Amino acid sequence: MEKQTDLLLLARFRQGDEQAFKQIFERFHKELVSFATFITGQQTAAQDIVIDVFLKILPRSGQFASIEKIRSYLYVLVRHAAYAFNEQEGRMRKKQQEYFYLQQSASVDPESPMDQEEMMARTLQQLYEYVQQLPPQEKKVFIRKIIQRQSVEEIAAELNISAKTVYNLAGSAISRLRQWLGNMPYPGALILISAFVELFSEKKEF
């Protein structure tokens, strides 16, 4: 039944039906904003990115073969737009490129194979959701270190805690995420965990 509903929705979308576009927007908007927020660290920017991306698919509405193709294409466009935003803001780092398989200049076609792109997109989106479930202090440390790329000293000063406590909270957060992500079928999850461990492996001076 759901498959038939999606086929009808796709047919209407391909014909430029405004209500079909609205349904697709409502279906994927929340998860795409979460994904963009994780990359940029800014929810307002993420909202703008997602809206812009949805508007970009309108002229190509007749080119998609399935609803899942639309979803995959949206994820890829959001990812590229979010990293372009970071680059413009001066927050793009070489480490992020290595860990998250960035291809800033890649052209995207809605019918191209995007299994790896979508796999990483889903991993990042799931990671963002897991981060929201961390205990408050662990979440603060994780976001400041991984997303905002602050130093341990900066985090300690901002949260009024010791550097040792920062490391302890980070270690606890990584352990939780390792357990959660370890159950995911995506190999990219293991790459992310390795990245987190390395980011926190700098010399400890307590």
CB burial readout 133-166, b (16+ within 10 A) else e: ebeebbebbbbbbbbeebebeebbeeeebebebb
Beta strands in 79-158 (DSSP E): none
Question: Residue 112 phi/psi, 5° resolution?
Answer: -75, 150
**pLDDT tens digits for 12-22?**
888 888 898 89
39-87 confidence digits (pLDDT tens)? 787 888 889 999 999 988 888 878 888 888 888 889 888 988 988 888 7
Largest interatomic CA distance in the chain: 63
Q: What are phi and psi of 162, to 5 degrees?
A: -80, 160
Is the model's pLDDT at 181 over the cut of 50?
yes
Q: What pLDDT score was predicted for residue 121?
A: 63
* Amino acid of residue 100: F
> 85: Cβ–Cβ under 8 A, 6 or more apart, which residues?
40, 45, 49
Residue labelled with tokens 């929340």: 30
Q: How many CB atoms lie within 10 A of CB 111?
A: 10
pLDDT value for 92: 46
Copy the structure tokens of residue 179. Answer: 């357990």
Select from 81, 66, 65 the least CA-distant residue to 32: 81
Q: How far apart are CA 121 and CA 32, in angstroms?
A: 9
Ranges 20-29, 75-84, 95-104, 149-158: which has the least confidence: 95-104
Distance CA 163, CA 165 (A): 5
168 CB burial (10 A radius; 0-12, 13-18, 19+): middle
The domains located in the chain, with CATH, are 2-113 (1.10.1740.10), 133-199 (1.10.10)
N-terminal to C-terminal alpha carbon distance within the chain: 60
